[in-house]
Chains A and B, each alone.
Chain A
Amino acid sequence: EVQVEESGGGLVQPGGSLRLSCSASGLTFSNYAFHWVRQAPGKGLEFVSAITSPGISTYYADSVKGRFTISRDNSRNTLYLQMSSLRAEDTAVYYCVKDIGGPFPSVLDHWGQGNLVTVSS
């Protein structure tokens, strides 16, 4: 069974940095693209970032471009999201999501339980 689990969230001050991690089991990690999707309190879902299976190509929402960096370590079966210059509007539950598979990231197949990031002074 595929399991995805995020860690590293918490409270951070505006302008601060935080790194989210995501571990996945029950699959050959290196074969799949992964995504980060967020959900602000009481709001809908928003694409944040995605990375292809070998990690060569990365994609970002305009709202986080230049501030967030997605990366992966296939030897550790781990995905990362380095977040810097954080703003109040980045406050959200961040989901790590496995892609369904294929040459290009597309469908969000298995979701982690989510990790809350709160940006506040």
Chain B
Amino acid sequence: EIVMTQSPVTLSVSPGERATLSCRASQSVSTNLAWYRQKAGQAPRLLIYGAVTRATGVPARFSGGGSGTEFTLTISSLQSEDFAVYYCQHYNNWPPYTFGQGTKLEIK
């Protein structure tokens, strides 16, 4: 089973600033990597898949990068709705696909 590790666990950033979240895979997942945002009390929402492709309707302030074992999610200018928990997920050579433990993005 591939283990996904996200860092940091908690990230404090001011609204309007840039945030960069990281995700590391225990072995290569190529670009078979997705990112999700989960607001408090809500279901997750797909943001990025294929490591770099924004899902339909996702604002351009979200960008994904990386391949192999190292990935990033960058939010260029944080809006109020972006303060949430973010999960990465690999879908390479599964079952099972696995998620990272999450990064909580909080207001500084």
Contacts and interface: CB of A to CB of B under 8 A. Distances in A.
Interface of A: 44-47, 50, 59-62, 95, 100, 105-114
Contact of A114 (B43, B87, B100, B102): B43
Interface in B37-88: 42-46, 49, 55, 87
Given A62-B96, A108-B36, A44 B102 contact: yes
Contacts, number: 55
A109 B100 CA distance: 17
B95 A60 contact: yes
B106 to A, nearest CB: 16
A61 B96 contact: yes
B101 A44 contact: yes
A106 B97 CA distance: 8
Nearest to B56: A109
Contacts of A62: 96
A86 B25 CA distance: 31
A111 B95 contact: no
Contacts of A44: 87, 99-102
The 3 closest A-B pairs by CB, nearest first: A111-B43, A106-B91, A59-B95
Contacts of A100: 46, 49
B34 interface: yes
A108 B89 contact: yes
Nearest to B4: A44
29 contacts: A44-B87, A44-B100, A44-B101, A44-B102, A45-B36, A45-B89, A45-B99, A45-B102, A47-B98, A47-B99, A59-B96, A61-B96, A62-B96, A95-B44, A105-B91, A106-B32, A106-B49, A106-B97, A107-B49, A108-B34, A108-B36, A108-B44, A108-B46, A110-B46, A111-B44, A111-B45, A112-B43, A113-B43, A114-B43
